[in-house]
Structures are given as structure tokens and as C-alpha cells.
Structure 1
Amino acid sequence: MTVNSEQWPEMILKPVGLVRNDIKEPMLKAGEQGLELKIRIEKIREYHQQIKGMMSELVINPEFTDLLKGIEEFSHIIVLYWPHLIDPARRHNLKEVHPMGREDIPKQGIFATRSPARPNPVLVSIVPLIERRNNILLVKGLEALNNSPIIDIKPHSLSYYGSETPSVPSWMEQIHRELGN
């Protein structure tokens, strides 16, 4: 079955806010040959643990402050954000990558990975909500870069997003073990 994309409606996304934190550079870079790890592989676990403990501020545009009413009653939120430093030409050319830039793991299709280099690079993270201060949400463990545009925020609830027993391929289990997840 083919899909005629000319019939699809135009999509326009506008940021609702920005991420503020100390992450200035991505861990992965979309290069000519796929994803390139910008830190030594031995340092990945240390980097990941640092991120898990890092605080980020989600600075929501003041015009959307009223939309945050009640969010502080949730322990976790889902943050959808845009990886703004990825070159659009690079992300459109990548079809398959070694997950996390690791050549010891066979190439996978982009949709089978959590790669930030994708046709529509919408990234999603579930993070603990620590505090709300008017239009600023303080969260822990968000891997977004400083100044990443926030597309949306949703409350996290297992009854909506939980899966009873999700399965993942062995290469992803290996990555999770190595990162201490």
C-alpha cells in the first residue's frame, strides 16, 4: 500500500518553552557514516549517571502558564522536545544507524532506535517533576540540550502509557545493563 503524502495537512509546531540546563553538546552526533559517539565508550555510564542526577528548568512561555495548572500534582511528566542542533540534511539522510554509535551493535532502522536523528526529530523523555515555580518546571534527569525547544508537556500515568510486559531486542538490553538501568 502506498501513501500519498501530498494529501497530508501541513504541520506547524511552535515551541511552548525552552530547556535550561548545563548540557551544551550532544553525546551523539549525526555524521556522514551514521551516529558518532562524542565521548569515549568507557565514559558512557558515567555520563548517563550524571544526566540522571542533573536538574533542568523547563521555562514555559508565560502565555502558557495557565496550561500548567495542576501539573504539580503529578510525580512525573512527559517532555516532548526538539533536538535543535541536528543538521536537517544529516537527519534526512540517515536510514540505519548503529545504536548509540556503537559499531559492535548491528545497524538498525532509525524507527527501531531512540536516535535523535530522525525524519521528525521529536524526542520524548519521562522525568520526575521536582517543583513548579509559576511558569518554570524543575525536573530531574532530562537529557535535552540547553535551549532545546519544548514542543509539549503531558502528565505521566501508567494507566495511559504503561505496557504490561514490553520486550526489547538483546542489543537494547545490553545498552540498558551497561548504563545501569
Structure 2
Amino acid sequence: MKEIKYEAIGEVRSSFKEPEGTPIQPTSSGTEEGKIILGQKYKKGLKDLEGFSHLIILYHCHKAGEYSLQTKPFMEDEKHGVFSIRAPSRPNSIGLSVVKLDRIEDNILFIKNVDMLDSTPVIDIKPYVPQFDDRENVKIGWLEDNIEKLSETEDDGRFSG
């Protein structure tokens, strides 16, 4: 396979220093606040972003451990294929979070619903647009029987490196 390299465009600042105890999804983080400090050379790319209420953040899960192609996710005791779960330990440890944008000051994005670790390298930022991103008639596979566990489930450190 072809190697692909990315450069981080910024870094997350959050109160979560270690994976253990971190919310496993932005919707379960409540109003947890954080920041994305964007590299100065990318500052002009923030033009017009303040008009969006939510952002899609793509990031590198820098504290993820080795992956397995089948593993137990946080809300289930059965093993599932890595591509049917959202665990940080995967062939390419890329994370995705939809966060609420509070405000932008200079090159700093103030965000809410943070589920990312402090110092997480940010790969990209995209505006969340419901007409692009919401879908009808969605099926959620094995999560159907476990989704009610989301609000009470935190990272227990099982995917840490």
C-alpha cells in the first residue's frame, strides 16, 4: 500500500491528559470545553468559519496503542471488526469528532463537546452541515442493543499505547 503523510495543522487543548476517564464520543462529553490552537500559517483558512455552529475535527489519536482487526469496543463485551467500531487503535489512528464552535480568537478555536486528549494533533477542520451530513433510515448495527450505555461510558484505557 502507498504511504501517506500528513502534517498537523494545530493541536487540541483539553482537560483530558490521559485516555482513561475521557468521554468516548462528543455527545457524551456534556459541555466539556477545549481549544484548538491552529498553526499561524493556517490562520487565513479560518475566514468565514465563525458562521458555523458545529465543526468536524479530524485528528491523530496520538496515545492509541497497537490495533487488532477484531477487538472489544467500549460498550460491548463481544469482539467486533475494527472497521465496525470507533476505537482509537486502528490501522490509521484517525479520530473524528463533531464539536460545537463557541468562538474564534486569532488562531484559537474555542469549542465544546470535547472528547479529545490534550495535545491531540489536528489533521483537518471541516464545517458540519446537516444537509450534507445527516442521513435518514440509518442502521447502527451491533450498537442498536448498546447505545443507551453511551452517556455512562468513559474510556477505560484499553486502547492506550
Query: Scaled by the length of structure 1, what TM-score is found?
Result: 0.75
Structure 2 equivalent of residue 100 of structure 1:
74
CA–CA separation in structure 2 for the residues paired with 1:164 and 1:135: 36
CA–CA separation in structure 2 for the residues paired with 1:144 and 1:180: 16
Q: 1:152 aligned to 2:124?
A: yes
Give 1:64's aligned amino acid.
Y
Matches for 1:36-75 after TM superposition, within 5 Å: 49=28, 51-75=29-53
Q: CA deviation at 1:142?
A: 1.7
Structure 1 equivalent of residue 143 of structure 2:
172
Matches for 1:1-16 after TM superposition, within 5 Å: 5=1, 8=2, 10-16=3-9
Structure 2, unmatched stretches of 5+, are 153-161
Structure scoring higher RCO (CA < 8 A, sep ≥ 6) equals: 2
Q: CA deviation at 1:101?
A: 6.7
Structure 2 equivalent of residue 78 of structure 1:
56
Q: Percent identity?
A: 30
CA–CA separation in structure 1 for the residues paired with 2:114 and 2:61: 13
When residues 60 and 82 of structure 1 are mapped into structure 2, their CA distance, relative to the original with a 3 A threshold, is same
Greater helix fraction, Structure 1 or Structure 2: 1
Q: CA deviation at 1:162?
A: 1.7
Count residues with an aligned counterpart. Answer: 149
Give 1:172's aligned amino acid.
L
Q: CA deviation at 1:179?
A: 2.5
Structure 1, unmatched stretches of 5+, are 28-38
Query: Scaled by the length of structure 2, what TM-score is found?
Result: 0.84
Larger-gyration structure (1/2)? 1
When residues 66 and 24 of structure 1 are mapped into structure 2, their CA distance, relative to the original with a 3 A threshold, is same
Asked whether the 8 Å contact 2:59–2:120 carries over to 1, the reply is yes
Q: CA deviation at 1:16?
A: 0.3
CA–CA separation in structure 1 for the residues paired with 2:86 and 2:143: 10
Q: CA RMSD in A?
A: 2.1
